[in-house]
């Protein structure tokens, strides 16, 4: 579309808001954009927000491409219409609604709840901010048909989002996600949204439900005797101004840990996240204050959850005594190794258990599972696909645990989304288990590398904001498909997996295999030396991600530093070759 045509289209959409049933403040903001900021006007109206891998997510503000009560309202009415179609025979449709600590989250949650209620649904609305996984649990506990949590997870403060869930407690997947979009698109005016009425259909839920949820997490504990011996292990925890502030310490104490050290400045729920640039536990800076507290107190472990408490970042002392942040793959390996070891020790492995990981997560998890003769299923990136596997296997096989490299983990089957409250409890338990053997958590990681293989991974996110950035990302993927690399860092590419066309190409054999997963815009390149490079645009953020993985044998723990340096050099070479340093 030509620039002039785009501007005309955008102004026409903006005029519809000026003429429509919108509040005066919104209209004044739109007029200001028309008069003074054409670029922001375009960004605000050039498209409608769409459901991606995490649902609806965007920058807060006025316009069709922004998070506001009207885009939230239209999304909710569309979701409502679709839920009604799918559960038309039920005498009472039930939904649950929760929110995080972000600016406007309570407003958006109440807006969502009131629309559901006005449409005749029974609504369970959390009385205040709560972790996303507790919303998943609430859907299952109350027998709901759907649910929504207002959150933008770990995104910067200007973002907010809207995650839609189905009756199994998992985020919506195909065909529901596309069908919901279809229903939303049918709503051409906010006048079609039922914003008011039916308030008596809303039931507030609070502390009593927290007890039910945390009691379920406690049942996952596998080493109460170990915790009893290591109960005073020093645990530093920060919610980074988010929803974990209450429940993570609560569940740690419920398991028996007594020495939980907080970071007072970050215990304040605040959508501006004043002590961090970004509340993302994947980033070193977000854990800086907690790590300082760890140094001051000589802690055993530092844990930090993101604003909606579905992801957790871990920091520990390495074998040189220096504090270091574990990446998501390392934490997943520690957690899965612990779960499988304890399940085996307790005689709980009966041959029908399994774990799940995403295609971009470390292959070390599959190696560990194979040692215990436990199947490891691969799914597309996005925890909703892990939830889908659990749903499909329910009753026939038992889910032990699973995770993804982006700091999301889950155990048990009563929650169907990544759960940092649960993960904090089990990771702390794994740390106590290691300490009971005279090891640190880092020592335990090195022993896993020595027992299996040493995998080292890196993630490079290339940010491309706005409409132009989105087009540039699309072009990058097209280029990789039309002209794939023949070799990377001097090692021949032997296999290319294209999840969009659901085909694996075995380069040297000239053969093609089918991928039995839903289509997704992901490419993977496998090289002769065992490296794996995955490329995918983010479904929730304006970026394209490169996941780089190399592996080697670790002959002994004593050789860790030398082998680690060699593997780092390989990763640097791959990044240089791909031009993503």
* Catalytic residue list: 153
Q: Confirm if 161 and 151 have CB atoms less than 8 A apart.
A: yes
| Residues 484/493, Cβ–Cβ less than 8 Å | yes
The C-alpha atoms of residue 109 and residue 112 are separated, in whole angstroms, by: 5
Nearest-5° angle of CA 367, CA 370, CA 372? 120
Three-state SS at 201: helix
Instruction: Output the CA torsion sign for 520, 521, 523, 524.
Output: negative
Please, are residues 475 and 462 in contact by the beta-carbon 8 Å criterion? no
- 172: which DSSP letter? P
Q: Quote the tokens at residue 393.
A: 């296997």
CB 117: neighbour CB atoms within 10 A? 23
Q: Are 114 and 196 in contact (CB under 8 A)?
A: yes
Grouping H, G, I as helix, E, B as strand and the rest as coil, residue 230 is coil
Question: Closest Cα to residue 399, out of 365, 360, 352, 358?
Answer: 352
453 DSSP assignment = -
Q: How far is CA 570 from each of CA 242, 458, 565, 575, rounded to the nearest angstrom? A: 37, 11, 9, 9
> Per this entry, what is the length of the chain?
581
Q: What are phi and psi of 497, to 5 degrees?
A: -110, 120
């Amino acid at each position: 579309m030509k620039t002039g045509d785009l501007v005309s289209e955008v102004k026409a959409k903006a005029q519809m808001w000026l003429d429509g049933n919108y509040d005066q403040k919104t209209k004044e903001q739109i007029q200001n954009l028309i008069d003074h900021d054409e670029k922001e006007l375009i960004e605000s109206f050039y498209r409608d927000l769409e459901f991606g891998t995490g649902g609806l997510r965007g920058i807060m503000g006025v316009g069709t491409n922004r998070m506001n009560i009207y885009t939230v309202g239209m999304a909710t009415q569309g979701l409502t219409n679709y839920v009604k179609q799918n559960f038309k025979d039920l005498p009472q449709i039930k939904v649950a609604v929760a929110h995080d600590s972000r600016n406007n989250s309570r407003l958006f949650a109440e807006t969502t709840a009131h629309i559901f209620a006005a449409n005749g649904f029974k609504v369970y609305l959390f009385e205040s901010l709560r972790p996303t996984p507790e919303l998943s649990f609430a859907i299952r506990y109350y027998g709901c048909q759907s649910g929504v949590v207002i959150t933008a997870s770990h995104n910067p403060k200007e973002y907010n989002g809207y995650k839609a869930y189905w009756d199994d407690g998992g985020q919506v997947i195909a065909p529901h996600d596309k069908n919901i979009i279809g229903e939303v698109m049918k709503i051409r005016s906010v006048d079609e949204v039922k914003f008011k009425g039916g308030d008596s259909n809303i039931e507030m839920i609070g502390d009593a439900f927290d007890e039910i949820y945390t009691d379920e997490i406690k049942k996952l504990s596998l080493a109460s005797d170990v915790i009893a011996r290591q109960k005073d292990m020093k645990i530093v925890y920060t919610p980074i101004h988010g929803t974990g502030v209450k429940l993570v310490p609560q569940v740690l104490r419920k398991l028996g840990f007594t020495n939980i050290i907080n970071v007072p400045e970050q215990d304040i729920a605040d959508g501006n996240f004043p002590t961090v640039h970004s509340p993302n536990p994947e980033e070193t800076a977000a854990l800086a204050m907690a790590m300082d507290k760890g140094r001051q107190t000589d802690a055993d472990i530092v844990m930090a959850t993101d604003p909606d408490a579905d992801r957790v970042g871990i920091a520990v002392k390495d074998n040189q005594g220096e504090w270091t942040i574990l990446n998501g793959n390392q934490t997943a390996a520690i957690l899965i190794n612990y779960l499988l070891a304890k399940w085996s020790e307790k005689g709980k492995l009966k041959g029908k258990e399994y774990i799940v990981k995403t295609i971009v997560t470390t292959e070390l998890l599959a190696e560990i599972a194979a040692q215990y003769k436990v199947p490891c299923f691969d799914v597309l990136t996005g925890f909703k696909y892990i939830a889908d596997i659990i749903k499909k296997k329910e009753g026939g096989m038992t889910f032990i645990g699973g995770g993804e490299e982006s700091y999301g983990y889950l155990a048990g089957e009563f929650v169907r989304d990544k759960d940092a409250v649960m993960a904090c409890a089990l990771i702390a338990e794994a740390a106590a288990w290691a300490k009971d053997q005279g090891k640190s958590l880092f020592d335990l990681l090195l022993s896993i590398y020595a027992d299996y293989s040493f995998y080292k991974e890196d993630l490079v996110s290339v940010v491309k904001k706005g409409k132009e950035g989105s087009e540039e990302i699309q072009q990058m993927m097209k280029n990789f498909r039309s002209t794939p690399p023949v070799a990377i860092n001097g090692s021949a590419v032997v296999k290319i997996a294209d999840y969009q066309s659901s085909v694996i190409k075995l380069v040297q054999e000239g053969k093609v295999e089918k991928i039995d997963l839903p289509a997704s815009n992901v490419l993977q390149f496998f090289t002769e030396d065992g490296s794996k490079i995955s490329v995918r645009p983010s479904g929730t953020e304006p970026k394209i991600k490169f996941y780089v993985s190399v592996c080697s044998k670790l002959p002994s723990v004593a050789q860790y530093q030398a082998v680690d340096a060699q593997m780092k050099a390989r990763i640097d070479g791959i990044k240089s070759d791909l031009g993503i340093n």
